[in-house]
Amino acid sequence: MTDLAVTILPAAAPEAAAWGAASARRALAETGAREVELGDETRMIVVAGRVDQAELRRAVDEHPGVAVVQLPSAGVDAYVETMRATRRDGLVFTSAKGAYSAPVAEHALALTLATLRSLQIRARASSWEQTQRGISLNGGHVLIIGAGGIGTELLRLLQPFDVEVSMVVRTAREVEGAARTVTTDRLDEVLPDADVVVVAAALTEGTTSLIGAERLAAMKDTAVLVNIARGPLVDTDALVAALAEGTIGGAGLDVVDPEPLPDGHPLWNEPRALITPHQANTDVMTEPLFQERVRANIEALAAAKEPVGVVDVDAGY
């Protein structure tokens, strides 16, 4: 047990973000840490929901005793400028990367299977008319872009299927269980052979519009694209055109750009697209996972150990 002083931001979390504050408080109760108002004794800040970046920047800058800032999401693109502006010795930002991998990977698999079988078309139907659209995952080639927690968990979930899995990584390394692993600069070599392309990479300055018109055109016309990472990784206009023209077979999207997707946007009426509103991990799934991450990092800080999920500020994830 520890009496570490922890501040939860925002101080008054909106109802939509109440799960984050509740999870953090349960973690405090588990560890004996104290919830305090932001002040000189604060050693850890837990961001429990959407917070104004200027407010967060001031909180870190004006309180040099803060050693850890725990962010609520796995992706940290919204916090990059704040992290770089407040960089100092003795301070780390930690994300929830890896914490939500299981539910998000499950959702990626669900979107994959549903889109391959054209269930998005059947879900919109109002009659018994049959269609011959549909492809089996078995015997296919799945390309996963990103070998972080979500990508590697999806690789594990795919093991019962008779599929060949290729992984795309930022820096050269082998991923256990993958048939082949290539670096991002070789993406174009493996893309044309894929039956399913799953985008599970971090959003950084270098990965915005990673999948654009040229890469969509390079895919099989039967292939499906699944994005469960960040919307801007895929060029939306190019995707709309590729779906309308039949350049690719379909798309399963939990994230889009812009987000939320406006009413009347062409993707809503695209029969080849299956869209879920950024809910690969619902509050019910997320609460215990975020609680565990906060608990682990309170204990790490109290024991002067390396926290879990430390963000590489230069890399942006």
Range of the domain at 84: 5-99+282-302
Confidence (pLDDT) at 12: 67
Quick: pLDDT tens for 273-299.
Answer: 999 999 999 989 999 999 999 999 999
317 domain-assigned: no
46 by DSSP, 3-state: which?
strand
Residue 44 belongs to some domain of the structure: yes
- Condensed to tens digits (0 to 9), the pLDDT of residues 144-189 reads 999 999 999 999 999 999 999 999 999 999 999 999 999 999 999 9
pLDDT given for residue 129 in this prediction: 81
Check whether residue 244 and residue 148 sit in a common domain: yes
63 and 161 in one domain? no
- Band (pLDDT 50/70/90 cuts) for residue 14 is low
In a domain, residue 261? The reply is: yes
* Same domain, yes or no: 95 and 105: no
Residue 15, pLDDT > 70, answer: no
**Residue-level pLDDT at 21:** 94
- Into how many domains does the chain fold? 2
Q: Does residue 188 share a domain with residue 215?
A: yes
Residues 249, 286, single domain; the answer is no
Looking at the fold, whether 72 and 135 belong to one and the same domain comes out as: no
Start-end of H helices in the chain: 18-31, 53-61, 80-85, 101-116, 119-124, 149-157, 187-190, 213-218, 236-245, 283-302
Portion of the chain with pLDDT greater than 70, in percent = 98
Q: For residues 230 and 127, give the distance between their C-alpha atoms in angstroms, rounded to a whole number.
A: 35
Q: Of 220, 250, 227, nearest to 134 (Cα)?
A: 250
What pLDDT is stored for residue 126 in this prediction?
85
Q: Are residues 220 and 188 in the same domain?
A: yes
Task: Report helix, strand and coil shares of the chain as percent, to nearest 5.
Answer: 40, 15, 45
Show which residues are catalytic: 230, 259, 278
Question: Same structural domain for residues 132 and 208?
Answer: yes
Residue 311 placed within a domain:
no
Higher pLDDT, 132 or 32: 32
Beta-carbon contacts of 286 under 8 Å, excluding residues fewer than 6 positions away, are 19, 23, 100, 103
pLDDT by residue (tens digit) across 246-282?
Answer: 999 999 999 999 999 999 999 999 999 999 999 999 9
Query: Does any domain span residue 316?
Result: no
The span from the CA of 239 to the CA of 80, in Å, is 27
Residue 171 lies in a domain: yes
Q: Are residues 236 and 165 in the same domain?
A: yes
State the pLDDT at residue 63: 98
119 and 177 housed in the same domain: yes
Examine residue 61 and state whether it is found in any structural domain, yes or no.
yes
- Decide if pLDDT at 17 tops 90: no
Q: Cα torsion at 120, 231, 149, 139 (round to 10°)?
A: 40
Q: What is the DSSP letter of 280?
A: S
How far is residue 294's CA from residue 307's CA, in Å, rounded to a whole number? 10
- pLDDT of 37: 97
Region 38-51: mean pLDDT is 96
CATH of the domain at 48: 3.40.50.720
Same domain, 210 and 120: yes
> How far, CA to CA in Å, does 10 sit from each of 23, 55, 152?
14, 9, 32
Q: Are residues 172 and 254 in the same domain?
A: yes
At a CB cut-off of 8 Å and minimum separation 6, what does 18 contact?
Answer: 49
Which pLDDT value is given to residue 228? 98
CB atoms within 10 A of CB 260: 9
Handedness of CA 166, 154, 142, 266 (dihedral sign): negative
Using CA atoms, how far residue 317 sits from 157, 231, 243, 295, 313, in Å, is 24, 16, 30, 21, 7
d(CA 40, CA 190): 53
pLDDT for 124 equals 85
The per-residue pLDDT of the chain, averaged, comes to 95
203 within a domain of the structure (yes/no): yes
| Confidence class for position 139, pLDDT limits 50, 70, 90 | very high
